[in-house]
């Protein structure tokens, strides 16, 4: 099966091309550009993608799927949101109910996804009591197991390792097992100190979130993670970096040879803390939104970035609107949904000329595939046939009404981005897009994507 007459864009230009895959294996067998189209077999079933741009399906490395919390999210709604947003692969985080901290829990997490076209891996959470088990994992192991996640600051759920000796043990356990140590990096001691200072004067309110979980709390925690990484020499990945200072210390550590990667999220370059007055609990997440100035600088750093060490993630953390409407600081949960918006928020940067087509692919799939070992992220023979067709001439509005997550809302409500998802192929099968049979020249059958 294949797609032809689509626009394949790279840093040099845009070309008329085609992609062919084996529907049985789900692998791409060839990519054809311009004159090479004439050499395609005539018995291939065509899909007319005229005027569309093709890219690898997105990979979201940070998704809270909320197992055991069906009021927040379920497999069917999360899958629908992924497909609608052009996401073909997700890595889930361990702070469900109960948290994923024992290997024997993996089978239960995998079960809901066994017939899904989405590729799913599940990160396991680090605790005081499971590190010896993690260290002995070795290889081979279940390919659906992700890596080891350490929460160095409190977040949704009760996973927390806030003392440096345990954090170091967790990173060492991951390295011994051949896993990447994935870190939520905020300084818990500083967070507690900042909170107590405010509570000595008055009651907490939602607008205090950024005063409690400050930029310095993130930077200090990242510096500590770097020190641990320098000692153990194991691979580390830092989640949801929200600050310019975080970017800079990570870049410096990488240039010194540390095996470290990191991600940032669309809400950190599209939203800012000045929106708290209107968005209220919808704007509460960990780490928090930063100032308008910091937001602009994070976007600039992301757009200027090069290499394989940075990627984007949604930190998809669905909570009900009723929960987010609670004005009590401790009762309003942190986190926002986002996997449906992830790919197009980055494509919007490309459409505005702020990043190249190549960088768009690197940030949304290629770098994540390289770091976490997926056979994806590239339109090339032998790669998984996870392909998205984007209509560059359309505008996509984000709204609560079009959100397919069970929570039914988006922090980007009322905002628009360039481009729309016209078709999605996962594992060699169309999962989004209507195909109408047509008759081509010379009697060759094809399907038109509508």
The segments of the chain whose pLDDT lies below 50 read 37-40
Q: Assign 3-state DSSP to the chain and report helix, strand, coil percentages, each to 5.
A: 35, 25, 40
Alpha-carbon distance 170 to 299, whole Å? 32
Residue at token pair 């986002």: 338
Peptide bond into 98 cis (omega under 30): yes
CA 204 to chain centre: 31
Name the phi and psi angles at 432, rounded to 5.
Answer: -145, 135
For residue 90, give both structure tokens: 């997700």
Decide if 411 contacts 336 (C-beta within 8 A): yes
Q: Which residues of 229-248 are buried (b: 16+ CB within 10 A; e: fewer)?
A: beebebbbbbbbbbbbbbbe
Q: How far is CA 353 from the centre of its chain?
A: 22
| pLDDT of 38 | 38
Pairing of strands 58-63, 53-56: unpaired
CA distance 398 to 150: 32
Closest CA to 355 of 299, 398, 313: 299
What structural domains and CATH numbers belong to the chain?
57-377 (3.20.20.140)
Residue-wise pLDDT for 352-389, tens only, equals 999 999 999 999 999 999 999 999 999 988 999 999 99
Q: What 3 state SS string does 376-411 have?
A: CCCCCCCCECCEEEEEEEEEEECCHHHCCCCCCCCC
Place of tokens 């100035």: 293
Q: Which two tokens stand for residue 289?
A: 């939104």
Tell me phi and psi for residue 21, to 5 degrees. Answer: -140, 165
Beta strands 14-22; 2-9: pairing state = antiparallel
pLDDT of residue 1: 76
The structure's pTM equals 0.95
Q: At what angle do helices 292-304 and 342-351 cross, to 10 degrees?
A: 80
The predicted pLDDT at position 409 comes to: 97
The pLDDT value recorded for residue 36 is: 52
């Amino acid at each position: 099966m294949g797609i032809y007459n689509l626009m394949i864009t790279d840093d040099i230009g845009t070309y008329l091309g085609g992609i062919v895959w084996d529907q049985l294996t789900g692998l791409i067998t060839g990519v054809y550009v311009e004159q090479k189209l004439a050499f395609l077999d005539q018995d291939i079933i065509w899909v007319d993608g005229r005027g569309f741009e093709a890219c690898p399906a997105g990979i979201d490395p940070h998704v809270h799927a909320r197992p055991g919390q069906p009021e927040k999210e379920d497999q069917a709604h999360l899958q629908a949101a992924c497909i609608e947003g052009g996401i073909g692969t997700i890595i889930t985080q361990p702070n469900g109910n109960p948290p994923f901290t024992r290997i024997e829990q993996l089978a239960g997490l995998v079960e809901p996804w066994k017939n899904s076209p989405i590729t799913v891996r599940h990160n396991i959470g680090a605790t005081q009591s499971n590190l010896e088990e993690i260290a002995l994992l070795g290889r081979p192991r279940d390919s659906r197991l992700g890596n080891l996640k350490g929460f160095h600051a409190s977040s949704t759920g009760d996973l927390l390792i806030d003392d440096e000796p345990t954090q170091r043990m967790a990173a060492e356990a991951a390295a011994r097992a051949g896993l990447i140590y994935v870190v939520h990096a905020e300084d818990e001691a500083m967070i507690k100190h900042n909170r107590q200072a405010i509570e000595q004067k008055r009651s907490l309110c939602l607008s205090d979130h950024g005063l409690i979980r400050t930029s310095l709390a993130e930077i200090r925690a990242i510096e500590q993670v770097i020190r641990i990484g320098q000692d153990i020499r194991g691979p580390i990945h830092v989640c949801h970096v929200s600050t310019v200072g975080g970017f800079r210390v990570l870049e410096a550590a990488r240039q010194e040879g540390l095996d470290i990667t990191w991600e940032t999220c669309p809400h950190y370059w599209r939203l800012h803390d000045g929106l708290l007055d209107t968005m209220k609990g919808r704007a509460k997440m960990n780490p928090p939104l930063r100032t308008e100035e910091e937001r602009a600088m994070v976007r600039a750093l992301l757009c200027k970035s090069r290499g394989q060490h940075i990627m984007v993630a949604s930190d998809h953390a669905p909570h009900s609107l009723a929960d987010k409407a609670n004005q009590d600081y401790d009762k309003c949960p942190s986190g926002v949904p986002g996997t449906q918006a992830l790919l197009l928020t980055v494509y919007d940067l490309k459409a505005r000329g702020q990043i190249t087509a190549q960088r768009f692919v690197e940030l949304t799939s290629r770098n994540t595939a390289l770091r976490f070992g997926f056979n994806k992220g590239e339109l090339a023979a032998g790669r998984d046939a996870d392909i998205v067709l984007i209509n560059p001439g359309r505008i996509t509005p984000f709204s609560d009404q079009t959100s397919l997550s069970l929570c039914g809302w988006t922090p980007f409500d009322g905002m628009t981005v360039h481009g729309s998802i016209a078709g999605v192929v996962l594992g060699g099968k169309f999962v989004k897009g209507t195909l109408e049979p047509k008759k081509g020249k010379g009697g060759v059958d094809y399907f038109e994507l509508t």
